[in-house]
Structure formats: C-alpha cells, structure tokens
Amino acid sequence: MADRFEPRFDIAGLLTAVVTHAGTDALLMVAHMNAEALERTRATGRAHFWSRSRQALWLKGETSGHFLDVQEIRVDCDQDCLWLKVLPAGPACHTGAASCFFRRLDGNRLVPLV
C-alpha cells in the first residue's frame, strides 16, 4: 500500500469527486476535478471543480455564495476518486436543493424525496 498521493486522472484528465456533509455525512453532490481544480481546492480549502459541460474550472459558490469549505479529502484505493467532506454555506445543488440527490427513481419516474 503506497503512502504517496499520486492521483490517477482518467483519459480526459479528470477524477470523480464525491461530496458529503462533514457533519452529517449526507451525500451532497458528485462532480469532477482536473489537476488545477484539485490544486486550488487544496490551496484554498474551498471546493473547485471542472465543468464538463462548460469545459471550465469553477469554484463552487462563486456566484451563489454557497461555498463548500473542505474539511477533509479522502482518496480511494486506486487514487482515481476523491471523497470531499465539506461544510456547505447553503444548498449544494444549483436547483436550490440541499443535495443534488433530492429525487428517487420509481419505475421510470423521478419522485421528490420528502
């Protein structure tokens, strides 16, 4: 078992980042990070991601004020996925929901969680 951090980015240069609430462990969101997003996250303590749709780096909360203050970064066994434990300064989802996972699948329908 290696003790050096050597992230294994995919062919597109990305790592998957699973984000949970540091206090409750609630699943907030899943996003992607490139090397620059990871570097800025580690340097600032605020979550930065790579937007695949916009092809741009983004600081979560930059426009909404709903920053994700990173408390801990965990690395999976293959070093190709990160788990960010954060304290959110507001809703994590761009829809205004506390979590991006606010619906469940029921057959072919998406049903809001109560």
Query: Is 43 part of a structural domain of the chain?
Result: yes
Measure the CA–CA gap between 31 and 39, rounded to whole angstroms.
15
Measure the CA–CA gap between 41 and 38, rounded to whole angstroms.
5
Domain count, the chain: 1
pLDDT tens readout for residues 102-112: 999 999 999 99
Query: Is 75 part of a structural domain of the chain?
Result: yes
Residue 1 has what pLDDT?
A: 58
First-last CA distance in the chain: 42
| CATH number for the domain harbouring residue 10 | 3.10.20.810
Residue 21: domain span: 1-91
Query: Is 64 part of a structural domain of the chain?
Result: yes
Query: Is 99 part of a structural domain of the chain?
Result: no
Query: Is 106 part of a structural domain of the chain?
Result: no
Nearest-5° angle of CA 69, CA 70, CA 75? 160
pLDDT tens readout for residues 9-43: 999 999 999 999 999 999 999 999 999 999 999 99
pLDDT tens readout for residues 46-101: 999 999 999 999 999 999 999 999 999 999 999 999 999 999 999 999 999 999 99
Phi, psi angle pair for 40, to nearest 5°: -70, -35
Query: Is 77 part of a structural domain of the chain?
Result: yes
Q: What is the pTM of this model?
A: 0.93
Query: Is 104 part of a structural domain of the chain?
Result: no
H helix or E strand, kind and range, residue 35:
helix 35-44
